[in-house]
Amino acid sequence: MSEAPGGERGEREPGRDAEAVARFVENFAAQLVEAGVPRMPARVFSALLASDTGVLTSAELGERLKISPAAVSGAVRYLSQVHLVSREREPGSRRERYRVHSDQWYEALTNREAIIKRWEDALREGVTSLGPDTLAGRRLAETLAFFEFVERDVAEMMERWRAYREERFGR
């Protein structure tokens, strides 16, 4: 098996159609963009998902996506902030590599819970400030109730996911 720079087996692996992989990366990235993810982070995330190890260096990402190191850096910064990738040092090197984890969706949702909690606190304050009987206060109260509902259901869903994941994938 041939290896890409840095030891990453991926699009260059025999039996893998590099054009089909590139099409997947761009198609999945387009779906993420439609959902609100900025274009470059969506492409970088998709490329990491499509790599066998889930780990690529900046140079590998730049080569695969035909983008500049600055574009990779900005995309990784965004993806790190939303907890979809992590940075790590290459052993024995100062170069960073970027990793997508198998539990990236769980981590992203879990971190969204903290954001939702902060929104709930702000909405509670807004209801109090505006008055619960005003039109704006009622609108904020309904929004608050929605986030409380979602938060409860997400927590229950994540428990079900852990059990399902253990049963299906053994982890």
Q: What is the pLDDT of residue 13?
A: 53
Q: Does domain 5-99 have CATH number 3.30.230.10?
A: no
Q: Where are the chain's structural domains?
A: 5-99, 104-169
Question: Around 119, how many Cα atoms within 13 Å sit in the side-chain half-sphere?
Answer: 17
For the sheet containing 55-57, what is the strand order?
55-57, 96-99, 86-89
What residues contact residue 9 under an 8 Å CB cut-off, 6+ apart?
A: 1, 2, 3, 52, 53
Cβ atoms of 99 and 85 closer than 8 Å: yes
Q: Using CA of residue 132, residue 134, residue 135, residue 137, what is the dihedral sign?
A: negative
Residue 168 has pLDDT above 50, yes or no: yes
The pTM for the full model equals 0.71
Banded pLDDT at 5 (limits 50, 70, 90)? very low
Residues 77-123: tens digit of each pLDDT: 999 988 889 999 877 888 889 999 777 777 776 667 777 888 899 99
Q: What is the pLDDT of residue 12?
A: 55
Cβ atoms of 136 and 125 closer than 8 Å: no
Question: Around 117, how many Cα atoms within 13 Å sit in the side-chain half-sphere?
Answer: 8
